[in-house]
Structure 1
Amino acid sequence: MTARPRLAVVGDRSDRVPAHSKLADLIPHLQADLDVEWMASDTVGDAIAGYDGIWVVPGSPYADQARVLHAIRAARTCGIPYLGTCGGFQHALIEYTRNVLGIADAEDVQYDANAGTPLIVPLACSLVGETAPLHLSPGSRLASVYPGRESVVETYHCKYGLNPTYVDAVLASSLHISGWDSEKAPRAVELPDHPFFIGTLFQPELSSSPADVHPLIEAFLAAVTRRSRHSL
């Protein structure tokens, strides 16, 4: 009997996080094809590297930031398909900046208001409960999710994003900014040489239902299934 793909959904479940109620509806639908495990941040361990996909969902600050960053590093270095939405986008930036760019004190000010390198800071305008245009970088994996489109409208529920001071450092790295808002602020990143590694400040969960799953989630799940098949 062929093993089913295994997906780890990482985040501290809370009724106060709108995306979590949407995920609670969506996950039973996904379990028709996948084994899905929702992990609280403080339960993530080395076994995370054995999953076929890792999805870090909204809900930052997490109870155990270090373990969330461990999950993201495992996805990045082991070629495990990764989707990071909102908090998962922010923490993908932190993990990459610390471990690839070598800025060890890169931090989200929600954890340390006096961080030496305040990488994740309050947005100039809150995006809690907002929809906004997302402009796609041509040729990016994210753009391939929306064939023939240069821009789309996405749903947000977030107050924090990448500090504009560090945009140039990201632009000079292998972590590509693949989605921008109308003011040229980064809203999505990806690793082009990875099987699938995308982080978005927007939350595709919020515009998904079991009957109509967001195309980014569909693309991620396809990557999870491919990895499972290739690992047999």
Structure 2
Amino acid sequence: IDWIHSEHIDSDNVSERLSKLDGILVAPGFGDRGIDGKISAIQYARENKVPFFGICLGMQCAVIEFARNVLGLPDAHSTEMDDQTTNPVIDLMEHQKAVTHKGGTMRLGSYECQLINDSIAFDCYKQELINERHRHRFEFNNDFQKMMESKGMRMTGINPDSKLVEIIELPSHPWFVGVQFHPEYKSTVAEPHPLFVSFVEAVKSKAGLSVQKESFVDS
């Protein structure tokens, strides 16, 4: 495992820094520190078919990267980092835009997510309706959903009540998944989260290692 600070990555050195990796995970976070490095790393993973897992901000950065480099929207961004962007692919939920005191306004706790059958997510969970825990304020902007889907990004997990996008995938890629929730909150050594298990299996496959499903629970 190679821990890389995204501030140390840019479009000039991304290939050199990441070429030896068999999988890339962009972790959760807040703010704009290292955001360009995260986006460069995701572009590298997408274009070079390296297994990619984006969690919370990592998913949001994947949406931004796709909008910029596939949809051709160079100023696409999150309004968390750029509130003047003309293409806010990540934005506040509508009812939060007038809130001036942000304390206690994050989307917290467990929410339902409806999965599409033909997806990596469904293959991991083996069920259509799941519950996952959240801790964030910004969301995928559904105004861009049809445009994203027309270029190959699939929204494979949707909240059935709010219609917010919870999971994105790229079917043309061996393993490219972004989730708005935090699977690490429900993952333990004894019972690793199925998304982490699937990601590690994809990484091992990329590395040319045999994939063996092991039990982490003593018999």
Is 1:155 paired with 2:133?
Answer: yes
Say if 1:161 and 1:49 are closer, same or farther in 2 by CA, change over 3 A: farther
Structure 1 CA distance, aligned partners of 2:47 and 2:203? Answer: 16
**Given the alignment, which residue of 29, 38, 48 partners 1:59?**
29
Give the TM-score normalised by structure 1.
0.79
Give the TM-score normalised by structure 2.
0.84
1:93 is aligned with what amino acid?
V
Report if the CA contact (8 A) 1:49-1:75 is conserved: no
Structure 2 CA distance, aligned partners of 1:108 and 1:49? Answer: 28
- Aligned ranges for residues 171-190 of structure 1 at < 5 Å? 171-182=149-160, 183-190=162-169
Question: Which residue does the alignment assign to 1:109?
Answer: 79
Identity value in percent: 29
Deviates more, 1:126-135 or 1:79-88: 126-135
- Aligned ranges for residues 121-160 of structure 1 at < 5 Å? 121-124=91-94, 128-147=107-126, 149-160=127-138
1:49 is aligned with what amino acid?
S
1:39 is aligned with what amino acid?
I
Cα deviation digits, residues 112-152 of structure 1 (max 9, x gap): 111111111113575543100010012111111012x1111
Question: Which residue does the alignment assign to 2:212?
Answer: none
Question: Across the two proteins, how many residue pairs are aligned to each other?
Answer: 194
Question: Which residue does the alignment assign to 2:66?
Answer: 96
Cα deviation digits, residues 146-183 of structure 1 (max 9, x gap): 12x11110111111111122122122220111100013
Is 1:228 paired with 2:198?
Answer: no
Cα deviation digits, residues 46-92 of structure 1 (max 9, x gap): 22132000000100324121111110001000010000010011000
Is 1:169 paired with 2:147?
Answer: yes
Report if the CA contact (8 A) 2:54-2:179 is conserved: yes
Structure 2 CA distance, aligned partners of 1:81 and 1:70? Answer: 15
Question: Which residue does the alignment assign to 1:42?
Answer: 7
Structure 2 CA distance, aligned partners of 1:218 and 1:62? Answer: 29
